[in-house]
Every structure is written in structure tokens, then in C-alpha cells.
Chain A
């Protein structure tokens, strides 16, 4: 029977009906403490510490702190220390603050080579969908399920439905993977993928770098998708080869089988012409409330839109390029990898951040930070007036000291523009790294395609 990439990975991991084996379990400090505690109370062990990996990211200050003891916020400190203690007790490798391997969990998994094609990967974090960029089946779980995976290395799971989004045409100059996924969300809506595993396919996807593919799969959850995935190819294999945990040699014969057969069927299919996609900017409080940078704030189409416009303090009809910004944040599991930072650095090289804007760059991991510094990108950003920070989730969700103030307007390369996400009362606009960088220089959004 002709199968999809998803069908193949699912079948290879079904232990019993509705029970899926998990190849890799990633753990961070926020959604794991209660799971470890329950495990302890029940007298259970972690079944496979060798398939488990932990890091601290959400609570980590990006000021260069090198130990949990340096975290000033007591609750954050306790949470990171609890992770360290739990991992120590249960024998789980942990890269906490101070480790050269520390970083956002969805950045370090691929970077260390533990994320590999064909795997099942879970983490107590919705953006686990990121790892699907490698042709893995990867999705977020809650704390009860974290405990379940720790104890059994399996997950009870009904098979989701399947969906394929096929792109045609090609991305125009200045249009990035971020714009492609934002445009897709605008089209399918924030619940268009609910109950489905989404495979992204077509020539524009095949031409994307691994960073771009990770950005696409990362935001699958913003469309409600259970997981996002992209068939692995030479781009994938070259990226994985030589990484610390990567197999040597790579099992290429096996990995090349990881693709949907010609006649594979999907429960839902969507086709999108990538040539039609312009640089995108969100105007509301869900990632699906998005429009072209050349457009204007739309008329509300219902109460939800009205509430969003009120929260965002925007008037319908205002050109997106006239929206003035207080802050720019380049970072997060969506856009903090070396490729993202190179793109943003090219835009700001030799320029200055507008005097009205507070701009920061937060590399996704210590390794990304070191690489960027080796390339001199930190100097480019600093010379332009950006704050160059240490690795962590930072202002994507404001669980650490990087928080936007009430009423502040932020151009952000992250994934969620929910009310209060980046700070209570803060107003977020999601954009690509290049669009964020250009907006920092001008103090308002600009069409990167025409901007010199």
C-alpha cells in the first residue's frame, strides 16, 4: 500500500494499538518538574535516560549568567535548579546554564545531531513540531504525557489525520520561509490543521535551507497542526552529517526511503503558489491575523478582530508600513539559528538602529552564539546599536527578564503574537529576521524588497 512519510514513521513505531514508541524525549525546566515529582512519588524510574535530553531555556536570563545560582528571580532559579537536580537523580544528560551546549531545546536538538530523520520526537513544548523539518514525527505534549514517556518511553496516541500543503512556484526576492508560513497561516487559519499531521512539500520547500524548513515546521502548531514534517533530502543529510550525535556513516539508504509514495493519499490537501507570497506582518493577536507589508490594517470581520485591533491599538486602513515600533526582537525557536542571524546581519551592516527603537538579538544556543561571534556578526549587530545577548527563549514569552513593557510595540521574529505573550499589554508583530532588522533601522515596517 502506498504510504505517506507520516504513515511510514507511524507504522515503524507502533508498539501496540494506539501506543507509539518514542525515539527521543527532549525536556526543559518549565513542563517537567511535576512529571518528575509524580514519577518519584510512584517509585518509578526513567526507562531510557539514553533517549532523553534536557536543557534550560525558558527561564534563562540572557545576560550571560553561567550558573542557576545567578538567576535573581527566585521562582525561575528554583525551576532551573529543580531541572538540574531531577536530571542528576534520574541520570538524564542535561545542558543547563553554563554549558557550552545550552540553548533553546528546539535549536540544540538538531544542532547536536540528536534530531534525525525517521524518528519520533516529543517534548513538553508545542514548538516540538520544529524537528519535523528533518523528516521526523515530532510534536508537543503536556506534563502528564512527559511523565508517561519518562516512565515508559511510549505515548498513548490515536493516529491523527494527514494533510499535505504543496507549494508551487518560487519564493521571490526578499521573501523568506517565515513569510511563507505566515502567509500559509493567513490562508488556512489558526485551526486549519487541528487533528492533522501536516507534510510540507513541493519545489519551494525543497529549495529551502534547513533553517528555513525548521521555521516552517516550527509554526505548524500556530495553524493547529499536530506535527509538521518535510521529507529529508541531500540538504538534510549534509546538515546532519558530522554532528556530535549523528551516526557515522549516515544510514542513507534507509533515510532516502523516508518520503511519501507517489500515490500516498492525504485526508486534506492544500495548494499554495509561493510566487504570490509577499513579506508578511501580523496585525492582530493570533498568527493568522496577518497581511502583506504593502497592505493596510484590515477592517474587522467579527468580534475577535475588533478585540484584537483594540488590544493592538490599531485603526483599520492604517498602512502596515506606518506602524511605528518601540522594540525589535530577533530570536526564538522560530528564527534564532545562524542562518537567521546572518540574514539579519546583512540587513543592518553599516546601518544604525533608529533612536526610538530598543533592539536585541538573542542567539538560539551557545553554539549559535559562538559561531556568530566567530563570523563577527556580534560586531555587526553591536555597531548598529543592537543588544547582543546570550542564548535562551528570551522575549518570545517573557518568562525571564527580557520583557516588553505595557503598550510597547514589538517587531518580533518569534511565533506568537498572543495578548501579553511578550509582556503584559505588549503588542507583538511577527515578521521574518530581515524584516525585523530593517524595521529596527527605520523605526517602522518597510518592504524589504524595495528598501535600500
Chain B
């Protein structure tokens, strides 16, 4: 995963609440077995509607409960491939939020009014280290889990980090692992 530090630039606005991952990347594009190239299908059906415009900017500002629905990581992949490096919204669906942090797409939570101000400003600067968003006429801080922040700042490989606990996993398996079910015994 690439490291995340400062993200600065234009803000694209999608002023809708409860945007689900079926809209972000419709199901017909989930058939691919690759991880790349999803950007051109971002908001595929909405993009065909008259009046739709979503500029390619580093920052997307949107409504609450963004990314609800399916667990498809293809949604963050598509947003990232389109050019977004950070999202600013009042809230996110849990799985979507987690998926974003796994690929270095920074999900920033701000209050409704602050998100509105970022939308109006049209550009912003997000600093993960200081957990701060600055825009013309305003500034706000955001919360993020310290461990998630550390991984993002350093671009750490999650599996590599976990394998540093390999001893603890082995100990768990030796001493505390519950019995069964052994899926391989079914075959």
C-alpha cells in the first residue's frame, strides 16, 4: 500500500446520502479477476444521466453513510482508479471504510456543516499526520484510529504487520483454538 501523507487539491462534490456500493461500481464490473481498471466504470449508471458531472480531483466530498451495502472492495478500487485519494463525508458504512484504509484511500469523517463548507470551498488540504482539513475560510480536525493512521502514514503491509504476531497466533492455536469444524473433512 502506498503511504498517505498530505492530500491537497480540488474537491469533487456528490451531495447525496446513503450512496451504496452498487452505484459506485455496478455488479456487471465485479466479474473481473483483476484489481485495476475500475475507474472508467465509476458510477456507471448515474454517469449516463443528464447533468451528471464528477471531476477527477484528489478529494471527493459526499453525504452520510457513504459506501453502504455490499462489501465489494471494487468500490474503493474504482474511486482510487478514478483519481480520488481522500473522501470527506459525515459518515461511512463500516466495511467500505475499512476497505478504503486497506488500499490507502483516506476516508475522512467531518461534521455535516464542515463537509458542506469543504464542498463550497472547492479545494482543500488534508494532513493525515495532524488529522487536519484546511479549506479557504475554515479548518477542522478529524478522528482516526491510531493504529490505522500509523499504517497509512507508513504505507505498511497489513499482513506483514500481523505476521509480527506469528508467535501469538501459534500460541492461540496451540492453547485456545476451538475444536472444529474441519472443513477439509467434509470432502
Contacts and interface: CB of A to CB of B under 8 A. Distances in A.
A6 interface: no
Interface residues of B, number: 59
A12 B45 CA distance: 45
Contact of A151 (B147, B159, B172, B176): B159
A16 interface: yes
Contacts of A3: none
Nearest to B177: A21
Contact of A190 (B18, B147, B161): B18
Interface stretch (B28-36, B54-62, B132-140): B28-36
A142 B181 contact: no
Nearest to A115: B181
B170 to A, nearest CB: 10
Nearest to B163: A152
Given A31-B71, A50-B183, A144-B99, A194 B22 contact: no
A73 B30 CA distance: 13
Interface in B120-179: 145, 147, 158-159, 161-163, 165, 168-169, 172-173, 176-179
Given A30-B30, A143-B73, A424-B45, A286 B20 contact: yes
B95 A142 contact: yes
A148 B74 CA distance: 17
Nearest to A245: B181
B183 A226 contact: no
Interface in A1-45: 12, 15-16, 18-19, 21, 23-24, 30-31, 33-34, 37-38, 42, 44
7 contacts: A58-B30, A141-B98, A143-B35, A190-B18, A191-B93, A303-B16, A419-B22
Interface of B: 16-18, 20, 22-23, 26-28, 30-35, 45, 64-65, 68-74, 76, 91-95, 98-99, 102-103, 145, 147, 158-159, 161-163, 165, 168-169, 172-173, 176-187
Interface of A: 12, 15-16, 18-19, 21, 23-24, 30-31, 33-34, 37-38, 42, 44, 49-53, 58-59, 73, 75-76, 78-79, 82, 91-93, 101, 112-114, 116, 118-119, 124-126, 128, 139-145, 147-148, 151-154, 156, 158, 160, 190-191, 194-195, 221, 224, 226, 244-247, 286, 303-304, 307, 397-399, 416, 418-421, 424
